[in-house]
Chain A
Amino acid sequence: MPRFRHLISIDDLTREDIEYILEKAEKFEDVARKGYSDALKGKLLGNLFFEPSTRTRMSFETAMKRLGGDVVNLNTAEVSSIAKGETLADTVRVVSEYVDAIVIRHPREGSARLASEFSSVPVINGGDGAGQHPTQTLLDLYTIKKESNLGNLKIALVGDLKYSRTVHSLIRALRLFDATIYLVSPESLKLPGDFVDELGEVIETDQISEVIDEVNVIYVTRIQKERFPDPEEYAKVSGSYRISADTLQNAPDDLIVMHPLPRVDEIATDVDLTPHAVYFRQAFYGIPVRMAILSEVMGYE
């Protein structure tokens, strides 16, 4: 029996569920790299993307195909014609009769939960508006496990902590692992009070330099221009949260820098060549993690 039928929110998982998936992902890593398995041979995945996310879609497609399965896509370009006026509930009812599992990406929060209630097959949330993106969180945790240490973790979350759904989900999951969390953000993009309350002990600062010696992981997120009415203010703020090789000059060797990508300029390209940069490997880890999730919901041990 699969540990879960649908994957909608990271909050639905226990620490044991997460550890199980991360271990399963590890077993798939060789296949993920350049290999092939027939674990999901004959199975068909339906990618329902109601808004563009090439990276997430490609990575699910890659994971499915490396496991011997195949994929059918409903792309944004088709959404407007196929699903004009049709409810999501109806679309999901129809498509779930065609395929063995569904990945859904949709601009509205709660859409994946709703889809799971109308689908006859497992539903995986590939991002629902400002809501949840649990496979991103799982691949972040996998990256930390592989490149650093999930036990006794000290992690600094840097940048837009107010709006970043990636950060909010990651925080929820990190609580299960008793991580020490450092919050580094400008005043206007601080983590919402509700979250801070939930966290209990937390260290807040607006200076990256104050935490570099303290942490194992720096997780950088993009500060979006749209959040600032004043372009000068944006330039000033985003500049002061930029990580460069200089910023990391005196950092301990085993400090890792993560980023959900795509980056704009919050991590300078000169960091790419340092041993601290793990964000491209982090993106790759999306494949074994999604393989683990796909095989789990489709019943492959």
Chain B
Amino acid sequence: MSEGLLIQKIKDGTVIDHIPPGKALFVLKILGIDEKTDVIVSFAMNVPSRKMGRKDIVKVESDVGEEELNKIALIGGNVTINIIKDYRVVQKFRVNLPEEIVGVVRCPNQSCISNSNEPVEYRFRVSKKGIRCHYCGRTLGDEVEKWII
């Protein structure tokens, strides 16, 4: 089974490729795509891949900002982005974790002030061992996905 057959080509939009297998749902979550979305989204999970064995793919038929896309780096791996215009790839890049991640991941520390009713968003900074809560300093490593809002 070849990759192209699973989801048809899109005319304009964003293809998120080489997602580690099984993590497409986290990608949707990070991009804020839920039951209320009105853009066309298709995705495939556990697609055979030469490079990775298996991979997930998400295609979003709208413009997703680069800043939004870079948040996908939270799930790890080497996710690549293809920007499509008129069926052609006009830009291709790897996601790169931004220095600050705001409003995407909840702090796992229940007694962190960001988990109370204060008017602030969850805020993390990239550190050596993962990401670190701006408020309480709790570090999140491999278990990041569990805390995606």
Taking a contact as CB atoms closer than 8 A, the residue among A89, A107, A132, A194 that contacts B111 in the complex is A107
B116: chain A residues within 8 A (beta carbon): 87-88, 108
Q: Which residues of A contact B136 (CB under 8 A)?
A: 108-110, 129, 131
Output the nearest chain A residue to B117 by Cβ-Cβ distance: A87
**Given B113, B119, B139, which contacts A109 in the complex, CB threshold below 8 Å?**
B113
B137 engages A89 (CB within 8 Å): no
The listed residue (A9, A87, A109) touching B109 by CB distance below 8 A is A109
Q: What residues of B have a CB within 8 angstroms of the CB of A107 in the complex?
A: 111
Q: Is A130 an interface residue (CB 8 A)?
A: yes
For residue A147, CB closer than 8 A to chain B, the reply is no
Asked whether B137 lies within 8 Å of A114 as measured between CB atoms, the reply is no
Cα A277 to Cα B112 in complex, Å, equals 36
Bound complex: CA of A106 vs CA of B113, how far in Å?
10
Please give the distance in Å from B139's CB to the nearest CB on chain A: 8
A-B contact pairs, 8 of them (CB 8 A): A87-B119, A88-B113, A107-B111, A108-B116, A109-B137, A109-B138, A111-B135, A129-B111
Known: A107-B111, A109-B111, A110-B113. A87 touches B118 (CB 8 A): yes
Residue B134 at the chain A interface, CB threshold 8 Å: yes
Contact B120 A111 (CB under 8 A): no
**Measured between C-beta atoms, what is the minimum distance from A86 to chain B in Å?**
10
Closest Cβ of chain B: how far from A132's Cβ, in Å? 8
The binding surface of chain B is classed by DSSP as: loop
Count A-B contacts at CB 8 Å: 55
CA A9 – CA B133 in complex, angstroms? 13
Contact flags (1/0) for A95-111 with B, using CB distance below 8 Å?
00000000000111111
Chain A residue nearest in CB terms to B141: A194
- Closest residue on chain B to residue A197 by CB atoms: B129
B114 contacts the other chain (Cβ, under 8 Å)?
Answer: yes
Where the two chains meet, the residues of A that have a C-beta atom closer than 8 Å to any C-beta of B are: 9, 11, 87-89, 106-111, 113-114, 117, 128-132, 194
Q: Verify A9–B119 contact, CB threshold 8 A.
A: no
Chain B positions within 8 Å of A109 at CB level = 109, 111-113, 135-138
CB-CB < 8 A to B137: which residues of A? Answer: 9, 11, 109-110, 131-132
**Nearest Cβ in chain B — how far from A123, in angstroms?**
13
Interface members, chain B 100-140 (any A CB < 8 Å): 109, 111-114, 116-120, 129, 133-139
Tell me whether A113 and B119 are in contact (CB under 8 A): no
CA distance A248 to B52 in the complex (A): 63
A89 to B118, CA, bound (A): 7
A36 to B19 Cα, complex, angstroms: 66
Nearest-neighbor residue (CB-CB) of B133 within chain A: A110
Interface contact A110-B119, CB-CB below 8 Å: no
- Alpha-carbon distance A218/B119, docked complex (angstroms): 43
Chain B residue with the shortest CB-CB distance to A11: B137
Distance in Å: Cβ of B16 to nearest Cβ of chain A: 33
A128 to B116, CA, bound (A): 14
- Central interface residue in B112, B114, B136, B137, by most chain A CB within 10 Å: B136
| Least CB separation from B115: chain A residue | A108
Partner of A110, one of B129, B135, B139: B135
- A11-B137, A88-B113, A129-B111 known; 5 new pairs, CB 8 Å cut-off, are A87-B118, A107-B111, A108-B116, A113-B134, A128-B113
Docked pose: A109 CA to B133 CA in angstroms = 10
